[in-house]
Amino acid sequence: MDKTANQLPKKGKVEIDRDILLSIINLATKEINGVASLTNAELPLHRKWSKTKSEGVEIKFDVNGVLNVDVYIKVYIGYSVPDIAYRVQENIKNSLNSMVGIKPGKINVHVCGVDVDEASEQ
């Protein structure tokens, strides 16, 4: 019996554009109830003016190739900040893992401000 007939072909290389990762993280953050917006207010100056599709998100790969994420958000008043931060971390981790097969290292959530919910103003 020919062993080569049952073997899978050699695996190739998959490359994912940086903007795809930024978009996934951006969407995963905005899905969380209580997140008002992403903000560039606290990003380092060199990142504030860069033309990326996703504001309020910074990604870095460490020397071992592990993806580390920083997101900068504003939350709606009346929501638990620790709860929102935890849910943002979990949603980013799950989204990256399910969509592109990446298990991120650190996911830092920086809460930069509080917004008043439009519905509570009325």
Q: Domain 17-115: give its CATH code.
A: 3.30.70.1350
For the ranges 24-28, 34-38, 54-58, the lowest mean pLDDT is seen at: 54-58
Strand duo 35-38 + 67-76: pairing:
antiparallel
- pLDDT of 90 strictly over 50: yes
Q: Which residues, 6 or more positions from 117, have their beta carbon under 8 angstroms from its beta carbon?
A: 36, 76, 77, 78
Per-residue pLDDT tens digits for 17-33: 899 999 999 999 999 99
Per domain, the residue ranges of the chain are 17-115
Phi/psi-derived region of residue 95, left when phi > 0, alpha when psi is between -120 and 50, beta in every other case: alpha
